[in-house]
Structure 1
Amino acid sequence: MVIGRASAWLLTAAGVFNIVIWPRFAKAIVDDDRAWAGEAWASAPTGFFWVHAVLIVTAMTFGVIVLVIGLRAHRSLRVSS
């Protein structure tokens, strides 16, 4: 499969975006009162916390995969030029 230069840049940008944005969202979830049954980090996490934790881990995983594909496409374009 051949990925063009514009697609390689788009994949790289999408991967970087996901890696930059989702940790900030994770901090917001941890700081949210709905994430904990009582005091933050001193009580059990709620379903709200776990659902968002799965969402964040999945999105970050896909972000890394997309970033790797974009970087490999850049490398293959450089080698073939």
Structure 2
Amino acid sequence: MISKVAARFLIVAGVFNVVIWPRFAKAIVDDDRAWDSEHWHSAPTAFFWVHAVLITTAVVIGLGVLLVGVRAHRSSAPKA
């Protein structure tokens, strides 16, 4: 059983990951190192793909943490 405090921490950590990483993705897409030449008109570089994998992984883990936190918070609620 996870305490309410721990469940809230997981919820905050999950929300943080789901909000922050997509913003970082935009910064990567706008970075000149992500493309061979012009943005969106050339092949993505290894820089782009490495960050795409990292961002996708972080968001998926963040969603999992958020889900665990929400379920733990609901299960620790007093039963009526």
Which structure's residues are more often helix, by fraction?
1
Task: Give aligned pairs, total.
Answer: 80
Q: Which residue of 2 aligns with 1:41?
A: 40
Distance 1:80 1:30 in 2: 48
Which secondary structure state, in structure 1, belongs to the residue aligned with residue 77 of structure 2? helix
The superposition leaves residues 3-60 of structure 1 with CA deviations (integer Å, 9 ceiling, x where unpaired) of 0011000000000000010010000000000000010000000000000000000000
Which secondary structure state, in structure 2, belongs to the residue aligned with residue 30 of structure 1? helix
Distance 1:41 1:59 in 2: 24
Offset of 1:64 from its aligned partner? 0.1
Q: Which residue of 1 aligns with 2:75?
A: 76
Structure 1 unaligned segments of length 5 or more: list them: none
Distance 2:79 2:7 in 1: 14
Seq. identity, % = 64
How big is the alpha-carbon RMSD for the aligned residues of Structure 1 and Structure 2?
1.1
Q: Which residue of 2 aligns with 1:9?
A: 8
Q: Which residue of 1 aligns with 2:62?
A: 63
Q: After TM superposition, what 4+ stretches of structure 1 lie above 2 angstroms from structure 2?
A: none
Structure 2 unaligned segments of length 5 or more: list them: none
Offset of 1:78 from its aligned partner? 1.4
Q: Which residue of 1 aligns with 2:28?
A: 29
